Amino acid sequence: MSYDTNYLKDSVIFITGGTGSFGKAAVKMLLNLSPAKIIIYSRDELKQHDMARTFNQPCTRYMIGDVRDLGRLTRAMEGADFVIHAAAMKQVPTCEYNPIEAIRTNIEGTKNVILAARQNAVEAAVLLSSDKACAPLNLYGATKMVAEKLFIHGHVYSSGHYPFLSVVRYGNVVGSRGSVIPIFQQQAAHGVLKVTDPNMTRFWITLEEAVTFVFLTLGMSTGREIHVPKLPAMRIIDLASAIAPDADIEIIGRRPGEKLHELLIAPGETYRTAEMEKYFIILPDDPKRIGKYQAHLTQREQYSSDDPYRWLSSEELKEMI
């Protein structure tokens, strides 16, 4: 996907959760785009120390802090032009077992990012969301759904200047923390892979594709939009076979809150969804905004991982692995 990154040159980019998988990939790509400063904001000093050993350039700044702490967040964000909000609790079982903590980070933390961005007159901010936010069944998805709502309606918190607030919603990231790939690889050593359901499907995106799409959204969004890339999908059992073709498969059943298929666009969103060549834009429920995209409104009833843009072949899965 082609995109224009000239807007990032000489800019200050602030990344929450900057020591995570996405943050590392984003910083690696940003260093080639001549930014004035990259502020990596996270709460784990060891991860910052380790990351600084790899990315220790004059333009990189590492700041300890938590998105739950509005005062520290606002101070750390001073001078930022663009904000990428990647900080989140995202492990489904962890969120289920620690619901208050998930709410404090994913919802209250997102509110704080919006308030800090407004206080610092940030030009634009984008929230990283998930297909699990679409018609959610588990707490993680529910907190991401609320976070999306906060970003889409964040303009109500201020009059006058406010940043363009938008959302990127995509599927499972290949190789990110919590990915099923390393789990299957560990199980392969014992000759048995545990699969929840043979018919389960998931959307799939690489880290580089995710970062590229976030940069695209950050540069072109006019606010109050959810941007959804057109993604390939795969069956979990096909992924298991690609990782360990000779291993036995044990079907263990779906976990609580786990969907058979994921949605990136729900049926109730399609009437205001514009379909472009390589992505969708879910527009705010505003007749004027929807009318501007009338010629591009999608004819899809939904966008599900069992009816994706395309299916990944066995060869593609093996290459990703």
Q: At what angle do helices 180-188 and 236-243 cross, to 10 degrees?
A: 50
The CA angle 1-210-64, to the nearest 5 degrees, is 140
Q: Phi/psi of residue 267, each to 5°?
A: -55, -35
Alpha carbon distance 264, 125 (integer Å)? 21
How many residues does this entry show for the chain? 321
Return d(Cα 216, Cα 210) in angstroms, integer. Answer: 10
Cβ neighbours of residue 213 under 8 Å, at least 6 residues apart? 1, 168, 170, 205, 227, 229, 279
CA atoms within 13 A on the CB side of 283: 20
Give the span between the Cα atoms of 222 and 238, in whole angstroms.
39
Helix (H) or strand (E) holding 242, with range, is helix 236-243
- Determine contact, residues 268/300, Cβ cutoff 8 Å: no
Q: Token digits for 135?
A: 């018609």
299's torsion region: left (phi>0), alpha (psi -120 to 50) or beta? alpha
| Rg of the chain over all Cα atoms, to the nearest angstrom | 20
Residues tagged active-site: 132
Name which of 204, 219, 180, 177 is nearest 19 in CA terms: 177
Q: At residue 306, what are phi and psi to the nearest 5 degrees?
A: -90, 0
Orientation of helix 109-119 relative to helix 139-152, angle to 10°: 20
